[in-house]
């Protein structure tokens, strides 16, 4: 049975035209671009300002039509399959830098601004917002905040929410509101910034964000060392992490993930260190890191500036994979002390598929398991059982595992978010309070929210 107000797609499109105009309504031929797994939207609109978002949301609230916010569409695989059809709300047309105050260390941007666009805008004054997302030339600020995704330097810079000081949203009923402020020291009120960040657009639609800024490093270096075993790579990385000049990011890679980052560095496992700072401090830190790893590794390669930035981008893009994304990607969330247990997942098989590559985050903890091999001959039920086993094991380590990418046939058998957290009832109450009609991304979040 169609949702209320969704009797005929033609009638629905006519209503959207009345709300936001013909130019904002996406052509039917382009609707597959907005698919979430096997589910196609019945219509899509590309909006350019918060008032249009508010008008569409107020209409959707009245009619009960589901709404799926859309940005750069780089992480559409994330989350469960939606529970019912609806309309896609494309926010990439909201792509203005609203205000940039380098002296106050703040920048305000619309949700459709890409991570690359944000970086370029603030770099003109030697600043940066140290957040990252796969495929940063397409990934938007709104999508990065909504997914809570982070990059390879999270151990030094934290998560996107740690740099967010103000946010503007449109609620499920079309009401526009703001939280936080425009200055770094604003600490009044309940921290709705953190509530919206990582909620996958299930509570409200982010339309604008205010970030605090940090001075950008003037020099970058990425040091890659090859080792004969995972244990040797892990030991070298942990030794470096314990030094007083610990890097901004520190990772251990195996298998295909290692090949995609540094195919010319010999070894069955890699340790990768990201360093950034001023030239006077960088020289000594690079020399000391190379000295440590040269004693125990096979080959040590130092990449600087443009080459270093290319490697950082490649590390950031691993979950999405660019032109050849992994068939399965599982994000493991654990403490740094569980590094050996995370690396042990490299022996896990899914059906007939080869064991995964591992990209472990030594500084922040956890990491990702990535399968690029075909799963065409694997029984979806067996793959699902294997993934649930990984989720259970991660939970036993005091963390959890989110399946960021997997075939649709497998996703239909599992909850990609894993076991429901102890605060699930509170989350359900928040969802009811913020979205009583359950129209924002229904079914995609934890526990089917």
Q: pLDDT per residue over 171-219, tens digit each?
A: 999 999 999 876 555 444 557 899 999 999 999 999 999 999 999 999 9
Q: Do 1-215 and 219-317 fold alike per CATH?
A: no
Tokens of 132: 């990252």
Tell me how far apart the alpha carbons of residues 257 and 260 are, in angstroms, rounded to a whole number.
Answer: 5
Q: CATH second-level architecture of 219-317?
A: 2-Layer Sandwich (3.30)
328 phi and psi, to 5 degrees?
A: -135, 135
Q: CATH second-level architecture of 328-411?
A: 2-Layer Sandwich (3.30)
| 76-125 pLDDT tens trace | 999 999 999 999 999 999 999 999 999 999 999 999 999 999 999 999 89
Tell me how far apart the alpha carbons of residues 280 and 292 are, in angstroms, rounded to a whole number.
Answer: 20
Which of 407, 382, 318 lies closest to 37 in space, CA to CA?
A: 407
Whether 369 contacts 332, CB under 8 Å: yes
405: exposed, middle or buried (Cβ count in 10 Å: 0-12, 13-18, 19+): buried
Whether 41 contacts 3, CB under 8 Å: no
Q: Domain spans of the chain?
A: 1-215, 219-317, 328-411
| 4-38 pLDDT tens trace | 334 446 689 999 999 999 999 999 999 999 999 99
Which residues lie below 8 Å from residue 81, measured CB to CB, with a gap of 6+?
Answer: 36, 37, 38, 39, 408, 411, 412, 443, 444
pTM value is 0.93
Whether 133 contacts 178, CB under 8 Å: no
CATH code of domain 1-215: 3.30.465.10
């Amino acid at each position: 049975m169609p949702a209320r107000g969704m009797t005929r797609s033609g009638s629905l499109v006519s209503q959207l035209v009345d709300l936001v105009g013909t130019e904002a309504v996406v052509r039917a031929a382009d609707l597959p671009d907005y698919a979430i797994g096997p589910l196609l939207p019945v219509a899509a609109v590309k909006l350019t300002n918060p008032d249009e978002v508010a008008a569409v949301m107020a209409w959707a609230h009245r009619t009960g039509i589901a709404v799926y916010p859309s940005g750069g569409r780089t992480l559409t695989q994330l989350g469960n399959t939606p529970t019912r059809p609806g309309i896609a709300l494309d926010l990439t047309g909201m792509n203005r830098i609203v205000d940039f105050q380098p002296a106050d260390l703040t920048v305000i941007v619309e949700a459709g601004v890409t991570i690359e666009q944000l970086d370029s805008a603030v770099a003109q004054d030697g600043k940066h917002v140290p957040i990252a997302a796969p495929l940063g030339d397409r990934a938007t600020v709104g999508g990065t905040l909504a997914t809570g995704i982070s990059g390879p330097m999270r151990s030094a810079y934290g998560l996107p929410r740690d740099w967010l000081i103000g946010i503007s949203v449109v609620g499920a009923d079309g009401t526009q509101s703001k939280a936080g402020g425009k200055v770094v020291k604003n600490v009044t009120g309940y921290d709705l910034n953190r509530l919206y960040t990582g909620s996958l657009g299930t509570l409200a639609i982010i339309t604008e964000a205010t970030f605090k800024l940090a001075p950008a490093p003037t020099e970058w270096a990425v040091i890659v060392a090859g080792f004969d075993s995972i244990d040797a790579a892990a030991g070298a990385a942990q030794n470096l992490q314990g030094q007083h000049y610990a890097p901004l990011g520190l990772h251990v890679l195996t298998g295909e993930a290692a090949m995609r980052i540094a195919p010319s560095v010999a070894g069955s496992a890699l340790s990768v260190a990201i360093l950034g700072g001023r030239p006077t401090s960088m020289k000594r830190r690079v020399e000391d890191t190379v000295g440590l790893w040269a004693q125990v590794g096979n080959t040590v390669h130092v990449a600087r500036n443009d080459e270093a930035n290319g490697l950082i981008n490649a590390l950031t893009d691993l979950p999405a994979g660019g032109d050849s994304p992994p068939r399965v990607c599982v994000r493991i969330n654990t403490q740094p002390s569980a590094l050996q247990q995370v690396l042990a997942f490299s022996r896990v098989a899914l059906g007939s598929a080869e064991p995964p590559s591992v990209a472990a985050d030594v500084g922040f903890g956890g990491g990702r398991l990535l399968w690029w091999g075909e799963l065409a001959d694997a029984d979806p039920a067996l793959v699902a059982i294997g993934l649930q086993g990984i989720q259970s094991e991660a939970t036993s380590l005091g963390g959890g595992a989110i399946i960021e990418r997997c075939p649709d046939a497998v996703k239909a058998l599992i909850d990609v978010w894993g076991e429901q957290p102890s605060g699930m009832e509170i989350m359900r109450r928040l969802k009811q309070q913020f979205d009583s009609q359950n129209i924002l991304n229904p079914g995609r979040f934890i526990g089917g929210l």
